Amino acid sequence: MDVCDPWVAAKYLDFEVQEGWLSSNATRQGFQLGGFINRPAKLIAISSEQKPRTKLFTLAHEVGHLLMHPGLHHHRELPMHGLTEPHEPTDQRERQANHFAGCFLVPEKQLRLAFTASFGVKDLKLTDTIACELLGASYTSLMNSPYPSLAFERVVAQAQRFNGHQFSALNDLFQVSPTTMAIRLHQTGLVYR
């Protein structure tokens, strides 16, 4: 699938991306370093110890910093699996870079096209029928999930069949975590209660 590639974006911004083992000397004990930006050196480093999707999200997050936070010259990151994982960051710049990464990796236009191609409808509202179609007999767990929660969005993000039609899960198609896809489905109004 043809989606935005943060490697290409970094190159376009004239930054070199290096992947390798990153020393975690300066991070809190027990925390692995996911990547860092060195703006004066025009360098982004990404830890090669991470899974491909974590690298992709970290790099998209760094591209967000480069575009939105010109004063950020040196910046270190913990590994990032996606939006709000494991917690929503308290620093506003981190939240902005995460939001950028989510929109960059899962652009609304491409998401709408993929969603309609997979589910055959333009959006999905949670009803008994829809929950049953997605989860079979265990659908009541979804109907009883507390609100607000992303339980329904997460199920749709990872669904691989609907109305007898088989397809790749949306989160796999866009190479993001189920939570990131669930948040994008919520933000775009494609999935609602």
Would you tell me which residues interact with Zn ion (CB under 5 A)?
Answer: 77, 94, 97
Residue pair 52/175 in contact (Cβ under 8 Å)? The answer is: yes
Min CB(65)–Zn ion separation in Å = 6
Q: Which C-beta is closer to Zn ion: that of 97 or that of 134? A: 97
Nearest approach in angstroms of CB 91 to Zn ion is 8
- Between 100 and 119, name the residue whose CB sits nearer to Zn ion: 100
Least distance (Å) between residue 7 CB and Zn ion: 18
- What own/partner pairs with CB < 8 Å and gap ≥ 24 does 56-59 have? 56/6, 56/105, 56/175, 56/176, 57/81, 57/82, 57/101, 57/105, 57/176, 57/177, 57/180, 58/34, 59/6, 59/7, 59/10, 59/17, 59/35
Which residue, 56 or 151, is less far from Zn ion as judged by CB? 56
Give the single-character DSSP code of 28.
P
- 93 versus 112: smaller Cβ distance to Zn ion: 93
Minimum distance, C-beta of residue 82 to Zn ion, in the bound complex (Å): 14
